[in-house]
Amino acid sequence: MRKTTAAIFFAFFALSVFARAPQKPKDEFAYCILEDAIVAFDMGDYGNAMKYANQAKDARRAESEYETYVLENALTPRAVRRAGTVFADVLPVLEERDEREAVAIINLYLKRYGKEYFNNNVNEMVSWIKAKAVYPEADFLIGKIYQLEGEHSVALEFYERARKESPYLDIPAESFDILYTMANLAKQQMKNEPFEQMLLLILDNDSNFKDKTFLSALLRTIDFDSVKHVDRFFMLFRANPNHSLEALYELGLIYERRGESEKALECAALGTIEALTHMLSAISERDAEFKYKDFPTFLRTVVRYSDIVEWGSDIHVWDMMFQFAERVEKRGKYVFASTLYTYMADAMPDTYWKQEAKNRLKIQ
Domain assignment present for residue 18? The answer is no
Domain assignment present for residue 164? The answer is yes
Task: Kindly state the average pLDDT of the residues 204-222.
Answer: 97
Domain assignment present for residue 152? The answer is yes
Contacts of 235 (CB under 8 A, 6+ apart): 292, 294
Residue 47: C-alpha distances to residues 42, 58, 62, 146, 153 (Å): 12, 17, 23, 11, 19
Domain assignment present for residue 15? The answer is no
User: Which tens digit of pLDDT belongs to each residue from 243-291?
Assistant: 999 999 999 999 999 999 999 999 999 999 999 999 999 999 999 999 9
**The pLDDT of residue 131 is above 70:** yes
221 & 288 share domain: yes
Distance CA 358, CA 66 (A): 65
301 & 217 share domain: yes
Task: Kindly state the average pLDDT of the residues 108-122.
Answer: 95
Quick one: pLDDT band at residue 10, thresholds 50, 70, 90? very low
Residue 159: C-alpha distances to residues 41, 176, 194, 250 (Å): 16, 12, 13, 20
Quick one: pLDDT band at residue 20, thresholds 50, 70, 90? low
pLDDT at 21: 73
pLDDT at 364: 64
- In the chain, what percentage of residues exceed pLDDT 70? 93
Quick one: pLDDT band at residue 27, thresholds 50, 70, 90? low
214 & 314 share domain: yes
115 & 147 share domain: no
125 & 182 share domain: no
**The pLDDT of residue 18 is above 80:** no
111 & 253 share domain: no
Q: Across all residues in the chain, what is the average pLDDT?
A: 93
pLDDT at 111: 94
Residue of 246 and 6 predicted with greater confidence:
246
- Does residue 181 contact residue 144 with C-beta atoms inside 8 Å? yes
Domain assignment present for residue 12? The answer is no
165 & 270 share domain: no
**The pLDDT of residue 33 is above 70:** yes
- In the chain, what percentage of residues exceed pLDDT 90? 89
pLDDT at 23: 73
- Cα radius of gyration (the chain): 28
| Ramachandran bin of 291, using left for φ above 0, alpha for ψ from -120 to 50, beta for the remaining angles | beta
213 & 357 share domain: yes
Q: How many residues does the chain have?
A: 364
Contacts of 346 (CB under 8 A, 6+ apart): 296, 299
- The domain containing residue 54 runs over which residues? 27-131
Q: 237: which DSSP letter? A: -
Domain assignment present for residue 13? The answer is no
Domain assignment present for residue 44? The answer is yes
Residue of 90 and 363 predicted with greater confidence:
90
pTM of the model: 0.87
Domain assignment present for residue 309? The answer is yes
Closest alpha carbon to 195 in 265, 253, 262: 253
240 & 357 share domain: yes
pLDDT at 362: 79
Task: Kindly state the average pLDDT of the residues 113-122.
Answer: 95
pLDDT at 9: 45
Quick one: pLDDT band at residue 159, thresholds 50, 70, 90? very high
Q: End of a domain among 131, 155, 174?
A: 131
Which of 15-29, 109-123, 187-201, 316-330 is predicted least confidently? 15-29
pLDDT at 1: 47
**The pLDDT of residue 139 is above 70:** yes
Q: How many domains does the chain have?
A: 3
User: Which tens digit of pLDDT belongs to each residue from 56-80?
Assistant: 999 999 999 999 999 999 999 998 9
First to last CA, the chain: 106
pLDDT at 11: 45
